Amino acid sequence: MIRNFNYRRASSIEEALSLLEKHKEDYKIICGGQSLLILMRQGLVAPENLIDIKSVEELDYIEYHPKSGLKIGAATTHRKIEKSPVIKKHFPVLAAMEKNLASIQTRNWGTIGGNLAHGDPAGDPAPILIASNATVRMASAEKERILPLEDFFVDIFETALEEGELLIEVQIPVLPQKTSLAYQKFNIIKNHQGIVSAAVSITMDEDGERCKGARIVLGAAAAIPLRAKQAERLFIGEKFDTKLLERVGKKASEECDPVSDIHATETYRRILVKTLTKRVAKKAWEQAKTSG
């Protein structure tokens, strides 16, 4: 049962920040409620004040600029990202990921900001966004700051958001030349969260022969979305071959730190990490060779 709470609805960022400041001692932000309401119903979270930001139109936008890249307001729904022509054109992997995230009902109401702020290591957007070198903009009544998304996740269901802070925007820079990004999750039930997921970004040198940069980010393979940095390093300066892929997959499976739970054992997850990393990296590599 949900415990009684005071409901406050903000209609602007300014109003939201002042409500957060006023109720600093005991509040919870709610946007789409797709994650929070489950926790409240289970009695795991029982805030005195619930601050609703769903009507803050200033937080609902998708903007693209050829130099600065993509900016997505925190209250933008998954469905809007999935359907956005700009995202389909410039970050097709993001639109494709959204299409496989939850049901249409959840995508219609759940938001990108809520997904990231929830801090679930199995969330779909984080691995792709970290592989894209995304940053997040946060604000409180006192200050504003920007953080690489990679540093936003602190522990399971714990983020770098401080008391009184609101997640405002996700920023994705334009991908470097000859870069491609791929993502895949392994799930048993369609559109459910992945048992494990992997996002890989590969940047080729000018000739399209050797790898110049790589980012491998794993979902549900540790307490936070995890960059497999040792595996990434194996790619640098190398030409593509299947033995290299094998080594990279193996390293990623050693580097991750998965748990055993009702969905899969730790061992099974490590095997999945190896397979998915190889598969997704191969796809990113092949695409990067031919990309502009």
Ligand X SMILES: Cc1cc2nc3c(=O)[nH]c(=O)nc-3n(C[C@H](O)[C@H](O)[C@H](O)COP(=O)(O)OP(=O)(O)OC[C@H]3O[C@@H](n4cnc5c(N)ncnc54)[C@H](O)[C@@H]3O)c2cc1C
Which residues of the shown chain bind ligand X in the complex (CB under 6 A)? 28-36, 53, 74, 78, 101-102, 106, 110-111, 113-115, 117-118, 123-124, 161, 166-167, 191-193
Q: Smaller CB distance to ligand X: residue 29 or 172?
A: 29
**Which of 218, 208, 215, 223 has its CA nearest to residue 259?**
223
**Nearest distance from C-beta of residue 220 to ligand X, angstroms:** 10
**Nearest distance from C-beta of residue 36 to ligand X, angstroms:** 4
Alpha-carbon distances, residue 76 vs 48, 273, 277 (angstroms)? 26, 30, 29
Q: Which residues of 146-176 are buried (b: 16+ CB within 10 A; e: fewer)?
A: eeebbebbeeebebbbeebbbbbbbbbebbe
**Nearest distance from C-beta of residue 163 to ligand X, angstroms:** 11
3-class DSSP assignment, residue 51: strand
Q: Within a 10 A sphere around the Cβ of 89, how many other Cβ atoms?
A: 10
Q: Smaller CB distance to ligand X: residue 45 or 174?
A: 45
Q: Within a 10 A sphere around the Cβ of 193, how many other Cβ atoms?
A: 18
With a CB cutoff of 8 Å and minimum separation 6, the contacts of 97 are 124, 125, 128, 183
**Nearest distance from C-beta of residue 45 to ligand X, angstroms:** 8
Q: Smaller CB distance to ligand X: residue 28 or 289?
A: 28
Q: Smaller CB distance to ligand X: residue 141 or 244?
A: 141
- Pairwise CA distance, residues 80 & 98, whole Å: 9
3-class DSSP assignment, residue 67: coil
**Nearest distance from C-beta of residue 290 to ligand X, angstroms:** 30
**Nearest distance from C-beta of residue 114 to ligand X, angstroms:** 2
**Nearest distance from C-beta of residue 286 to ligand X, angstroms:** 26
Q: Smaller CB distance to ligand X: residue 21 or 254?
A: 21
Nearest residue (beta carbon) to ligand X = 114
Q: Smaller CB distance to ligand X: residue 62 or 102?
A: 102
**Which of 285, 67, 91 has its CA nearest to residue 179?**
285
- Pairwise CA distance, residues 84 & 72, whole Å: 11
- Pairwise CA distance, residues 196 & 222, whole Å: 10
Helix, strand, coil % (nearest 5) of the chain? 35, 25, 35
CA trace torsion 224, 169, 192, 81 (10° rounding): -150
Q: Smaller CB distance to ligand X: residue 114 or 249?
A: 114
Q: Smaller CB distance to ligand X: residue 17 or 228?
A: 17
**Nearest distance from C-beta of residue 118 to ligand X, angstroms:** 4
